[in-house]
Chain A
Amino acid sequence: MTVLPEVTSPPFPPPYPTRGARFAPGDTVRVRRGAAPGHMRTPWFLRGRTGRVERICGDFANPEELAYRRDGDPARAVYRVRFTMAEVWGEAAERAQDTIDAEIFEHWLEAADAP
């Protein structure tokens, strides 16, 4: 069962520009179960986990493309997403309500109610 954290987003805009982000602070999102050859920034232990967008960090070049010396365009929105320990580790969580924030690129996220 998904256990969601509380989030209070910062009262200032993203420090880097965004051209329009698909998700907004407070949205419930799930980490895709994707994989990329070479280099990816999404940690394995968050695959399939559901959390809440804490903030939008801005648009950044896609590191999976940069890793192969391509330009990484189009830049993707990066979000800071908050997860509860209960959500990430299940029964093994030492403190279920503690949270972990991870910065995740938009293409690794889907709406939590997506099939």
Chain B
Amino acid sequence: MSDTTEQGRRWHDMGGKDAGEIARGEHDFALWEKRVDALLHIAVAKGYFTVDGLRRALEDMGEDAFETMTYYERWIASITQNMVEAGAFTIEELNARMDEVAARGPTYGEAQGAGE
């Protein structure tokens, strides 16, 4: 017979659970979100990791991340983790680059190097 225990079930594997209200509104993607999406395709095409690795890191984040981070916030966190694991860059290099970007200014326009 079927297995009705929940032991080992992970938070994301929610098929069949009560879904509650479904948000049916349209969502216009921000430029940074499109860039995150593009980054995944580039990373996969270059062989750094696959969508399976993306999913692994997403699912490892746990339910809290699902409630507190947006879709592409979770994606960029997962992509970053996978890229570090793949050796694309070191954490030190990542931190140095993030400091560099932050130093450009607080707005997205400034951070992405507008006026360069």
Contacts and interface: CB of A to CB of B under 8 A. Distances in A.
Contacts, number: 45
Contact of B56 (A45, A68, A90): A68
B36 to A, nearest CB: 19
Given A43-B15, A45-B16, A66-B50, A33 B60 contact: no
A67 interface: yes
Interface string B24-42: 0000000000000000000
Given A44-B13, A45-B16, A69-B85, A39 B56 contact: yes
A43 B53 CA distance: 17
B55 A45 contact: no
Interface in A1-51: 33, 35, 38-39, 43-45, 47-49
Nearest to A50: B2
Contact of A66 (B1, B2, B16, B53): B53
Interface string B83-115: 001100000000000000000000000000000
Interface of B: 1-3, 8-9, 13, 15-16, 49-50, 52-53, 55-56, 59-60, 82, 85-86
Given A67-B53, A68-B56, 7 more contacts: A38-B59, A39-B56, A43-B13, A63-B52, A69-B50, A69-B82, A89-B16
Interface of A: 33, 35, 38-39, 43-45, 47-49, 63-64, 66-69, 88-90
